[in-house]
Amino acid sequence: MNIQLALASRGLVAQGRRQGKTLLEVSIVVAIMGIVAMAATPKYHSAINNFRVDAAANRIASDLAYVKRQAMAISDNASVQFSPNAETYTVTGVPSLDRTTSGYTVNLTVEPYRIDLVSASFGGSQTVTFNRFGAPNAGGSLVVGGSGYQRTITVNATSGRTTIQ
């Protein structure tokens, strides 16, 4: 007796059915996956760019709040100097969060941000200084942006509170 027939009679081999997929079927599935991926890519890049701008704005607002709190804690002035041309800002007069040195510089053109510091103005200056009571020397705002997205960080002249718009 033929082994194929013996297995088929016991239901172990499906008769008349293919075991694999044809090249045409695989090609169609790959083409459909490519079309779906092409449709999703612009939304993915848009979401990433929006996230980068939000992350940078939140980092700046957090650093401003940190400098304000530290100025009150040490009862001395502490400053943040923004450099739109260099796309950086420098914190002075407070300890760095990850080093034992005083002050640090944040570069907004590197990962994870990769955005632009568009402008910064605090009473005509690009530096905001918090006194020992946490009050800024001047209110003002700065704008960060990239790839069509922008956020404005505002420092209240009286309270020193920061808001992101």
* Number of domains observed in the structure of the chain: 1
- Cα dist from 67 to 71, 88, 134, 140, whole Å: 6, 16, 9, 16
pLDDT at 58: 96
**Residue 147 sits in a domain of what CATH number?**
3.55.40.10
pLDDT one-digit tens code per residue, 67-119? 999 999 999 999 999 999 999 999 998 877 776 677 889 999 999 999 999 99
**What is the span of the domain harbouring residue 84?**
29-164
* DSSP 8-class letter at 134: S
135 in Cβ contact with 77 (< 8 Å): no
Q: In the prediction, which pLDDT does 163 show?
A: 96
The count of other CB atoms within 10 Å of the CB of residue 41 is 10
Rounded average pLDDT over 3-8: 58
pLDDT at position 95 is 78
Q: What is the pLDDT of residues 43-62, one digit of tens each?
A: 888 889 999 999 999 999 99
